[in-house]
């Protein structure tokens, strides 16, 4: 029999369901609320800065760990994390590369890494690529409109002497949860007790609602030396295709991430780095506008879901996703429901199982993203409302 020429590692990965839903949305002309990319323009100032950088012929590699201007702009932005531009920052190809480079730089085969469920779908494969063993800890789903919460007992039980890191994402995809200071304090205490790293994905740090406070775990006592903070321009500046992310970490860890990053991608696009540096150096009024605009989208979409008789699990306090509980809905599983929505209703969402290790745990949910123009969101909720008039609710207890 001939070889498959597919590694055991790659053979373990399934295709990204989110990208599959995007393809189905294109095929059926559905509104794509599956993949988290905006359908509105990026800020004009940023695009103009990028045009200037290209005109200035910045066409060759930047310094592999990031152009000096961008690292200095990031150091000023993250002064509260004590970020030194020369020793603590790596500019990467999106937060995606920052995460895999961070894991490869810090974990050894067999190390355990704790991941909260539901999780952003890259974290499981990232752990596998780095040779580590993911250990999943479920957030408790909300009841009566409250928020997703940490199961303290399960989290304490998950930490052992084999734990090398915990991956955290706040504000959270897919739940919209913003981890509270007390929750982060518990995670921090366990990291200190078991001498583990916190690797924190904060790509939605500026997308917050209802006065929610974003706390970086690196600012908690004793955490600066054991935290890798990851973020990106992708979400804050609505430029997911520019592939600009970064990690902030103590010098010894940064040095290891730089080496992995160099061999993975050499560097992020040079002219776009210069454009980002220019805009970041101008300061932060932009981020207030961002939250206000997203709050309007969140409200319009959330009210639209409720009017359609759909049941959002919780009102998102950050990021731009909402999990909808489909228990009591006329379809049996999340995948059947998502397929019906994309084919017959004209709206693409992601089956909840994509965010869980065991598909059964996610099958009561669909995830919608609302990083779209208000008119797109209104048309999506109009379609959902019309479709839901045709759906007969299922009595409690009758689901398989």
Ligand X SMILES: Cc1ncc(COP(=O)(O)O)c(C=O)c1O
Note whether 187 binds ligand X by CB under 6 A.
no
Note whether 245 binds ligand X by CB under 6 A.
yes
Query: Near ligand X by CB under 6 A, which window of 4-12, 92-100, 135-143, 283-291?
Result: 92-100
Query: Near ligand X by CB under 6 A, which window of 2-10, 88-96, 213-221, 271-279?
Result: 88-96
Q: Which residue has the tokens 């800890």?
A: 137
Q: Which long-range contacts (CB under 8 A, 24 or more apart) does 388-393 make?
A: 388/308, 388/309, 388/310, 391/329, 391/330, 392/330, 393/328, 393/329, 393/330
Sites for ligand X among residues 344-383 (CB under 6 A): none
Query: Near ligand X by CB under 6 A, which window of 4-12, 69-77, 91-99, 359-367?
Result: 91-99
Note whether 120 binds ligand X by CB under 6 A.
yes
Note whether 95 binds ligand X by CB under 6 A.
yes
Note whether 171 binds ligand X by CB under 6 A.
no
What are the φ and ψ backbone dihedral angles of 149, each rounded to 5 degrees?
-130, 160
Q: What tokens were used for 172? A: 């959270």
At its nearest, how many Å lie between ligand X and the CB of residue 293?
A: 18
* Three-class SS state of 206: coil
Q: What tokens were used for 127? A: 């752990």
End-to-end CA distance of the chain: 41
At its nearest, how many Å lie between ligand X and the CB of residue 216?
A: 15
Query: Near ligand X by CB under 6 A, which window of 41-49, 93-101, 273-281, 374-382?
Result: 93-101
Q: Report the residue number, 19 or 157, with the smaller CB distance to ligand X.
A: 19
> CA-to-CA distance for 275 and 303, rounded, in angstroms?
37
Note whether 247 binds ligand X by CB under 6 A.
no
Phi-psi region of 210 (alpha: psi -120 to 50; beta: other; left: phi over 0): left
Note whether 232 binds ligand X by CB under 6 A.
yes
Q: Report the residue number, 353 or 367, with the smaller CB distance to ligand X.
A: 367
Q: Which of 203, 275, 310, 345 binds ligand X (CB under 6 A)?
A: 203
Q: How many CA atoms lie within 13 A of 168 on its CB side?
A: 31
> What b/e string do you get for 131-160 counting C-beta neighbours within 10 Å, with b at 16 or more?
ebebbbbbbebbeeeebbebeeeebeebbe
At its nearest, how many Å lie between ligand X and the CB of residue 331?
A: 26
Note whether 46 binds ligand X by CB under 6 A.
no
> CA-to-CA distance for 11 and 243, rounded, in angstroms?
26
Q: Report the residue number, 141 or 318, with the smaller CB distance to ligand X.
A: 318
Residues of the shown chain interacting with ligand X in the complex, contacts defined by CB under 6 A: 36, 94-96, 120, 169, 173, 201, 203, 232, 234, 240, 245
């Amino acid at each position: 029999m001939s070889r498959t020429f597919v590694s055991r590692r790659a053979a373990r990965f399934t295709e990204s369901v989110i990208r599959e839903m995007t393809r189905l949305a294109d095929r059926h002309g559905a509104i794509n609320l599956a993949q988290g990319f905006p359908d509105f323009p990026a800020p004009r100032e940023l695009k103009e800065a990028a045009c200037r950088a290209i005109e200035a012929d910045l066409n060759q590699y930047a310094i592999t760990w990031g152009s000096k201007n961008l690292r200095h702009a990031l150091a000023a932005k993250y002064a509260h994390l004590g970020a030194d531009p020369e020793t603590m920052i790596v500019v990467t190809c999106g937060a995606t590369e920052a995460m895999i480079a961070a894991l490869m730089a810090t974990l050894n085969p067999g190390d355990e890494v704790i991941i909260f469920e539901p999780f952003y779908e890259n974290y499981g494969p990232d752990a596998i690529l780095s040779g580590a063993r993911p250990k999943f800890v479920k957030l408790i789903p909300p009841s009566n409109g409250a928020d997703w919460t940490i199961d303290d007992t399960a989290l304490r039980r998950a930490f052992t002497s084999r734990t090398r890191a915990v991956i955290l994402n706040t504000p959270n995809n897919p739940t919209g949860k913003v981890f509270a200071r007390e929750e982060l304090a518990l995670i921090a205490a366990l990291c200190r007790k078991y001498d583990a790293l916190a690797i924190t994905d904060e790509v939605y740090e500026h997308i917050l609602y209802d006065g929610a406070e974003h706390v970086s775990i690196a600012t908690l006592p004793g955490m600066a030396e054991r935290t890798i903070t990851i973020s990106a321009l992708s979400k804050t500046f609505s430029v997911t295709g520019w592939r600009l992310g970064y990690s902030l970490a103590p010098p010894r860890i940064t040095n290891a991430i730089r080496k992995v990053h160099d061999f993975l991608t050499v560097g992020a696009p040079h002219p776009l780095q210069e454009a980002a540096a220019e805009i970041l150096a101008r300061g932060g009024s932009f981020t207030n506008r961002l939250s206000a605009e997203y709050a309007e989208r969140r409200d319009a979409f959330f009210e639209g879901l409720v009017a359609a008789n759909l049941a959002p699990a919780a009102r998102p306090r950050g990021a731009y996703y909402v999990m909808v509980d489909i228990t009591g809905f006329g379809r049996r599983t999340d995948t059947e429901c998502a397929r019906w929505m994309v084919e017959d209703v004209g709206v693409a969402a992601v089956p909840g199982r994509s965010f869980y290790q065991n598909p059964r745990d996610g099958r009561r949910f669909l995830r919608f993203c609302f990083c779209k123009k208000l008119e797109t969101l209104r048309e999506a909720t109009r379609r959902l409302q019309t479709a839901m008039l045709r759906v007969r609710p299922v009595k409690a207890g009758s689901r398989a």
